[in-house]
């Protein structure tokens, strides 16, 4: 029986890794945990549609084990991998070369194992921008944006993407506001025309600053677990808001339920998963156009 989740112990040899499979595992999503990831469900159909004889797997990697994972994957001839929580910062530090856009975004979520180097990219920021345009019908650059949980890997990438697109205003919210200092410094170096405000969830001006924005984004993990409260109070929202939660499982988080009750237009992170995944696939296979195959696959979930 083929495993739904692999570990580093399975990378000991091809015989172990590919036991019972018709195709070799040559791509993976790395996370801790990773069993919930929908990435194989869209990447595998794209591989099959393009006639690429490879299997895309989930690989559970403990924190601190990214160097070992990359070494073992290279030894087994992997093409590349996607990287999710909590490994995006470690991935950046363990690539031989990092794409300038990924360096600006502050994290790596896509890795390509070339013969001469391990190369890192970030498709979270561009994928998010494409998801907003696709889902809401408005360009991200035209919006004032508030990001809850901006200190994490996805939050930092989205914040940097907003600045690269020169959104007018950007409100960064984090449990520990001091953690936002390095992020604010780094994105201001991008030639920032954006007004940036950094707040904690306890800040007295939080509600007013959120209500002055057009788009509210949750990039924190609040909403993943049953019983989680909404990441923001209902006073932070108004019916005119666009509300986006980067979480896609569960499909309706407490924040999205709250937004729906108020009449906001809302969307979950499945569209960002789709768009960042399609861009990642094109880093591995530049001549392909996987978006619609991936979209169809995700729609069947």
88 close to 138: Cβ distance less than 8 angstroms: no
Q: What would the two tokens of residue 182 be?
A: 């390095």
Task: Name all contacts of 128-133 with Cβ < 8 Å and 24+ positions apart.
Answer: 128/157, 128/158, 128/161, 128/246, 128/272, 128/275, 128/276, 129/161, 129/165, 130/275, 130/279, 131/244, 131/267, 131/271, 131/272, 131/274, 131/275, 132/215, 132/242, 132/244
177 close to 151: Cβ distance less than 8 angstroms: no
How far apart are alpha carbons 95 and 109 in whole angstroms?
11
Supply the residues annotated as catalytic.
88
């Amino acid at each position: 029986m083929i495993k739904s989740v692999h570990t580093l112990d399975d990378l000991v040899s091809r015989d172990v890794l590919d036991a019972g499979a018709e195709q070799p595992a040559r791509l993976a999503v790395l996370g801790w945990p990773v069993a919930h990831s929908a990435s194989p469900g869209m990447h595998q159909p794209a591989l099959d549609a393009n006639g690429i004889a490879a299997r895309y797997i989930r690989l559970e990697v403990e924190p601190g084990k990214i160097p070992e994972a990359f070494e073992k994957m290279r030894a087994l001839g992997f093409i590349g991998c996607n990287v999710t929580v909590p490994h995006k910062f470690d991935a950046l530090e363990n690539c031989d070369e990092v794409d300038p856009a990924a360096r600006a975004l502050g994290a790596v979520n896509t890795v390509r194992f070339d013969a001469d180097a391990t190369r890192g990219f970030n498709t979270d920021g561009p994928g998010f921008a494409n998801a907003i345009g696709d889902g809401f019908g408005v360009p991200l650059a035209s919006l004032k944006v508030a990001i809850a949980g901006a200190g994490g890997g996805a939050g930092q990438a989205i914040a940097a993407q907003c600045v690269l697109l020169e959104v007018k205003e950007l409100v960064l919210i984090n449990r520990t506001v001091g953690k936002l200092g390095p992020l604010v410094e780094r994105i201001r170096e991008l030639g920032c025309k954006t007004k940036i405000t950094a707040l904690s969830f306890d800040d007295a001006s939080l509600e007013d600053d959120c209500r002055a924005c057009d788009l509210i984004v949750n990039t924190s993990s609040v909403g993943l677990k049953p019983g989680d409260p909404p990441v923001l109070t209902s006073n932070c929202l108004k019916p005119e808001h666009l509300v986006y939660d980067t979480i896609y499982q569960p499909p309706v988080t407490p924040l999205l339920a709250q937004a729906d009750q108020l009449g906001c237009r809302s969307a979950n992170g499945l569209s960002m998963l789709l768009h960042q995944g399609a861009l990642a696939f094109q880093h591995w296979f530049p001549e392909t156009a996987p978006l619609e195959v991936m979209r169809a696959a995700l729609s069947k979930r």
